[in-house]
Structure 1
Amino acid sequence: MNDTSASRAEHEARTTATVRILVWDAPVRVFHWLMVASFAGAWLTAESERWRLLHVTLGYTMVGLVGFRVIWGLMGTRYARFSTFVRSPAAVVRYLTSLLKHQPERYVGHNPAGAIAILAMLLMTLAIGSTGWAVYNGAGGEWFEELHEGVANAMLALVALHVAAVLGSSVVHRENLVRPMITGYKSGETNEGVRSARWGVAALLVAGVIAWWWTQWQSAPQAPASNSSTGAVTDRRTNADRDD
């Protein structure tokens, strides 16, 4: 009897034992932080005519990153795929209810509520990019400019809500949910981890973004001549007129 109980206890300990597993591959993490940096930079330069090209470049970067994320969501690693974390409305309600009861359902990858936020941010990015393109190319008039600003404000509010939800979920789950998006690792069972971080794909993503930034830098208009140089030219022309 005691031997049987001991065997069951050992079996449960083995099946529930957690180890350090890889959950977020490198492309997902690189995408995430490039989006953070691009949105922050675009937001800070939104009202500046001097930094207009940088603002536009970062906006198009975000659209390109969304395109990559859609592809990676179809053919990426286990927890990067949409089929793994996009769930039904009933699952979202059930998860939120479990949070209110302080008995949160455990998900190795994105939880159902987080998945809704991710999809919303992807769609908002496309809306920001399309309206921004219209404004930059003089299409749509003032109405499009206001729409572009409104969607960007909504995106900022959603980002703030997402950050607050991540911090709150970290407390409820008693697990740091920010660190895995940096390191890629969480605690889980051995069979729950992904096999490879796919650093090669992440490197190609970074190279593509840098190449895009370089082309934009190369096409930037040249800075006008300094006032001192202009003044010197004017003085020389004045002196020549006097000599004549």
Structure 2
Amino acid sequence: MRTVSNGIGAGGVRPPAMVKVWDPFVRIFHWSLACLFVLAYATGDEIARVHIAAGYAIAGLLAIRIIWGFVGPRHARFSKFVRPPREVLAYLRDLALLRAPRYIGHNPAGGAMILALMIALAGTCATGYMMTTDAYWGSKLIEHVHEFLANLNVGLVVAHVLGVVIASFEHRENLVASMISGRKRAAD
């Protein structure tokens, strides 16, 4: 009788070593933010109470994530993934040429996307709040800026999802699964 080790896969091949990358807060933040944004966008003018509650929840999540970007674990820190524009552009060029390097944490384009999403979401929350104040109640300008930023967020989300699909394909790893489990393949 033969005993098979749990570490051996089909055909005697060892599965790749996995490392913990995304901490529970980052994963909960990510999926909560996605759900809350869909809820806020879907309710819009139709269900104001839900829309406003989702907006405040998004603002709260953003505030906590900003703090976590300075005090959280290595891969959650802004200092780990925010790169200069030339590195982002070089990475995007390499990605288009299907030769982009693989990163355990966020790649330079992913870091730029996080900043863009956080800034656009913060602006959306700020203008949404402004619309509830006496000073800006009924302001068409603030309403238009709020709608513009909300739609910009949709465009950024589409670009984010496309980037995840492309990077998953290029590096042969399921980045969505890693944002659920918190783990990624250790090496190529």
Quickly name the TM-score band, shorter chain normalised: 0.7 to 0.9
- Taking the TM superposition and a 5 Å limit, the aligned residue runs for 1:1-244 are 18-48=16-46, 51-140=47-136, 141-188=139-186
Higher helix share: 1
Unmatched 5+ residue regions in structure 1?
1-16, 190-244
Normalization by structure 1: what TM-score?
0.67
Please name the residue that 1:225 is paired with: none
Return the index of the structure with the highest Cα Rg. Answer: 1
Q: What one-letter code is carried by the residue in structure 1 that aligns with 2:182?
A: G
In the alignment, the residues of structure 1 paired with residue 134 and residue 154 of structure 2 have an alpha-carbon distance, to the nearest angstrom, of 25
The one-letter code sitting in structure 2 at the alignment partner of 1:175 is E
How many matched pairs?
171
TM-score using structure 2 length = 0.87
Aligned-partner Cα distance in 2 for 1:47–1:151: 15
Deviations 1:149-208 (A, max 9, x none): 11101111111111111111111111111111001011105xxxxxxxxxxxxxxxxxxx
Q: CA deviation at 1:139?
A: 3.2
Cα distance in 2 for partners of 1:128, 1:138 equals 18
User: Which structure is higher in RCO with an 8 Å CA cutoff and minimum separation 6?
Assistant: 1
User: SS where residue 19 of structure 2 aligns?
Assistant: strand
Distance (Å, rounded) in 2 between the aligned partners of 1:154 and 1:93: 21
Tell me the CA shift for residue 100 of structure 1.
2.3
Once residues 103 and 90 of structure 2 are traced to their aligned partners in structure 1, the CA distance between those partners, rounded to angstroms, is: 13
Paired amino acid for 2:152: A
- Quote the RMSD (CA, aligned, Å): 1.4
Q: Percent identity?
A: 40
Cα deviation, residue 96, structure 1:
1.5
Q: CA deviation at 1:18?
A: 4.8
Q: Partner letter of residue 62 of structure 2?
A: V
1:59-91 deviations in whole A, cap 9, x for unaligned?
A: 011111111011111010110001111111221
